[in-house]
Structure 1
Amino acid sequence: MTNDTSHSYLRRLGIWDGAAIVIGGVIGAGIFRTPATVAERTASGLPLLALWAIGGLLTLAGVLCYAELGARRPQAGGIYIYLREAFGSLPAFLFGWTMALINYPGSVAAVATTFADYFCRAGGLPIWWVKPVAVGAIFFIVGVNLFGIRAGAWMQNLFTLLKLAAVVMLLVVGLALTHGHLGGVLAVDPSHQVPSGAWIGALLPVLFTYGGFHYLNDMAGEVRDPQRTLPRALALGLIGVVVCYLLVNVAYLVGLGHAGLAASKAPAADLMSSIFGSRGVTIMAIGIACSTFGYCSIAIAGGARVLQTMGADGMFFRVVGRIDLRWRAPQIALAVLGAWAIVLILTGTFGQLLDYTTVGEWLGHAFGIATLFWYRRRFADQPAPYRVPLYPLLPLLFVCTVLGVIGATVINSPGDAGMSLLIIAIGVPVYFLWRRAQPAS
């Protein structure tokens, strides 16, 4: 088994590149839609903003845990590496089986289709263009990333700036609609009644919208001075996301009001159209297209490095574990991930795959953070480059939160949760059959 493949990569990512990856991996299309769902389940702007702040703090606890894990093991593969070292090759394989082979390409296919949808709306293209545009986007992203992490980082930094510009635009429009009166932000809507305990259901979409912060750990083998850069980039990026999310929700509240936000199907577009009309909807479509395109770039880059690490370990086809010596990029893994995502787009099966792997994704986060307890005990006498504050409170808080999310998902979507657990279970015999088929090393 190959224990470290990170030496084949070049460490070219700085702190701002890393922060851009965190921001780009978290901010996709969710913040332009999810606040309406949260508003439906809250009575006023105050609990709505409180939920987004609580979700941000809970996610920050997980990010700080990932910062210590990434500083301890600054190599490509992220959670796969931590599970392999702490719990063995079977849990690591099951994570890769669920995420790198299903969830990552499924999310890329889903978000690429969302990008294509908004791109076609902005360009006035007919609906039958959506699939060709989505496929073309994946071809382009994979093509750029074939030339190494530096080329991918330049593209990612550009689209992170564009999505932040869309956030700023929403804030400016929202404030312009208040005419200097911000008191309505926290006003209670007496006509909107919510049952007690509804805040739990409102917190779930908030936490899902904060997902995607782990991609930088997948690319840790290419981060310069990772013991210092990784923790700072993760914290800086996530804090930037929290600030953006809170400001966007303030803009929705002051521009649409709590009742208007709760009734909206597309709050970002509704907010823009209130000033700019149909042109505002087009502008917002361009902003969402840029945001979703940037997410696809990160997901493909991060997922390919997990696949490459699995291939180098013999847990996937060995050829996928190769790294191009000139560009220091996992070119075969990128091509495989991109090709599989394209198949999912053309067959239209990505929606079910994402629903079926949600529980597996959150289980991966829970067990990934749990490895921190193993590292602390196993290497208790060794100095750590970075230690998560308030240990063991923060990792326990995050693990309990994730388990709560899993429990709520099982209750709300028992069929999807059952299929997710079934997919994980199928990976067990696949693992043993794969190991038996591999030549002794």
Structure 2
Amino acid sequence: MEARKLDDKKLNSPKTLKKEIGLMEAITVVIGVVIGSGIFFKASSVFKNAGTPMLGVLAWVIGGIITMASALTVAEIAAAIPKTGGVFVYLKELYSEKWAFLFGWVQALVYVPGVAAALSIVFVTQATYFVPMTAGQQKVLAIFMLLFISFLNIISTKLGSKVQLISTIGKLIPIFVIIVFGLIKGQVNSFSAPEAATASTGLAGFGAAILGTLWAYDGWVGVGNMAGELKNPKKDLPKSIIIGLAATIVVYILINIAIVKIMPVSEVIASPKAASDAAVILFGKAGAGLVSVGILVSIFGALNGYLMTGVRVPFAMAQENLFPFSKFFGKISDRFETPVNAFVFEVVLAALYVLSGSFETLTNLAVFVMWIFFVMTVAGIFILRSKHKHIERPYKVPLFPIIPFIGIAGGIYILVSTLLTDTAYAVYGLIVTLLGLPVYIYINKKNK
């Protein structure tokens, strides 16, 4: 079925979500989802692959440039199609219902609940620093966290966005402390240290370092899922994506510079938790506690952001009659005016994944497929400009078509790297995606 022409008509549902999210909350959604636990643990692998501190920092810069190119491009699409559902809606309007459904199929059933389950487990694992727990107790607490965050967002989207704002500020405090004291008090001149230049991993190693940073920058596009709830989506959506991601890039680069000023790069490479070790060097044992609290707040914010944005995908699909039991999952609570049923569905799946322990496998399966759709989304700018010239675009990507090509090239690099290094997961992910085809055919026939 051909994509419908873009217009400003409302979704099929007679009731829509309230527009109560401002620019600041949208920015914190971007920052909060992107900055999870990776900022505290990713330094060692990036510097190990890069080989030197200079190349390690450069990898974060290049990864940020590639990600920003994608963000600048998608921001134009988001401003032109400011509807709840984000990438699902973009694919439906620019490609076809079938492509949109396959994206939503994997996103709703595998990726969102899988990531939510993984984040909840990482949260309670980090909590064992303060309170020892058995494996069973950790799973119970992980499910409780899923239920608690969902409850906050079900009561009010505004409340969920405020939680996102507070948690984002909370997670940035220990990060800024490390950055400021590291840059001021850091004594290690790692950028010219002899041991920093002994490793020579070459172009392949530097490419792997960039790949690691691209994974760390992932997640910013989720704010588009909530476009229908932004007070002024045509202006605030591109602003939130660009400002939020730019702030994240600066934070990532500065904290990695601070870390290699605090610790010799050889110790950074050897440490699985370089940020924590750097904090201990700066502040003693209190530093470890500071970073541990920062990690908990950071993961909490990421989990809140993933659930808040992720449930909008099955909700948007249901409102377009492209999801099983659409009337149920597309329903908005009369009392809370939030997509309660979609929330319950995603949280139940996430809880099952926690209990089964299968969330890592599921998310690994889905990652390759998600990036296929993401590259399609970035490339959709050419379809938008050629076939939908009549659509008002309050924002346009600069340096067109150079910027989109940079974003597309970065996405293709991730796809090729994943296909070569995790071939089995990539193939299985495609199979899981294609299993959605008979479901789409059934739903399409039923709608007709």
Q: Same fold (TM over 0.5)?
A: yes
Match of 1:300 in 2: 307
Offset, 1:397: 1.7
What is the alpha-carbon distance in structure 2 between the residues aligned to residue 394 and residue 193 of structure 1? 31
Q: Secondary structure at the match of 1:390?
A: coil
1:402 pairs with one of 411, 415, 438 = 411
Match of 1:87 in 2: 95
Which residue identity is paired with 1:375? L
Contact 1:223 1:229 in 2 (8 A): yes
2:287 pairs with one of 257, 280, 285 = 280
- Report which stretch shifted further, 271-280 or 411-420: 271-280
Match of 2:112 in 1: 104
Offset, 1:333: 0.3
Aligned in 2, Cα 1:248/1:186: closer, same or farther, shift over 3 Å? farther
2:204 pairs with one of 179, 197, 205 = 197
Offset, 1:382: 4.3
What is the alpha-carbon distance in structure 1 between the residues aligned to residue 381 and residue 130 of structure 2? 45
Corresponding position: 1:248 with 2:269: no
1:370-423 deviation per Cα after TM superposition (whole angstroms, max 9, x unaligned): 222111112224442111111122122211210111001011111111111111
Which residue identity is paired with 2:78? G
1:363 pairs with one of 367, 372, 375 = 372
1:62-91 deviation per Cα after TM superposition (whole angstroms, max 9, x unaligned): 111221111111110001001111211110
Offset, 1:136: 0.8
1:291 pairs with one of 280, 284, 298 = 298
1:412 pairs with one of 408, 418, 421 = 421
Match of 1:42 in 2: 50
Corresponding position: 1:184 with 2:190: yes
2:444 pairs with one of 405, 426, 435 = 435
Match of 1:30 in 2: 38
- Report which stretch shifted further, 270-279 or 229-238: 270-279
5+ residue gaps, structure 2: none
Contact 2:143 2:354 in 1 (8 A): yes
Q: Secondary structure at the match of 2:63?
A: helix
What is the alpha-carbon distance in structure 1 between the residues aligned to residue 89 and residue 392 of structure 2? 20
What is the alpha-carbon distance in structure 2 between the residues aligned to residue 266 and residue 133 of structure 1? 23
Offset, 1:45: 1.4
What is the alpha-carbon distance in structure 2 between the residues aligned to residue 102 and residue 288 of structure 1? 25
What is the alpha-carbon distance in structure 2 between the residues aligned to residue 153 and residue 371 of structure 1? 29
1:316-341 deviation per Cα after TM superposition (whole angstroms, max 9, x unaligned): 12110111234321111011111110
Aligned in 2, Cα 1:239/1:196: closer, same or farther, shift over 3 Å? closer
Offset, 1:124: 4.1
Aligned in 2, Cα 1:272/1:91: closer, same or farther, shift over 3 Å? same
Aligned in 2, Cα 1:87/1:382: closer, same or farther, shift over 3 Å? closer
What is the alpha-carbon distance in structure 1 between the residues aligned to residue 407 and residue 264 of structure 2? 32
Aligned in 2, Cα 1:98/1:390: closer, same or farther, shift over 3 Å? same
1:130-160 deviation per Cα after TM superposition (whole angstroms, max 9, x unaligned): 1111111111111001122101011111100
Identity %: 27
Match of 1:325 in 2: 334
What is the alpha-carbon distance in structure 2 between the residues aligned to residue 124 and residue 273 of structure 1? 21
Q: Secondary structure at the match of 1:219?
A: helix
1:174-203 deviation per Cα after TM superposition (whole angstroms, max 9, x unaligned): 23652xx46434545243232443111111
- How does 1:146-185 map onto structure 2 within 5 Å? 146-175=154-183, 177-178=185-186, 181=187, 183-185=189-191
Aligned in 2, Cα 1:158/1:30: closer, same or farther, shift over 3 Å? same
What is the alpha-carbon distance in structure 1 between the residues aligned to residue 108 and residue 191 of structure 2? 42
TM-score, normalised by the number of residues in structure 2: 0.93
5+ residue gaps, structure 1: none
Number of residue pairs aligned between Structure 1 and Structure 2: 437
TM-score, normalised by the number of residues in structure 1: 0.94
Contact 1:173 1:272 in 2 (8 A): no
Corresponding position: 1:265 with 2:266: no
Aligned in 2, Cα 1:175/1:383: closer, same or farther, shift over 3 Å? closer
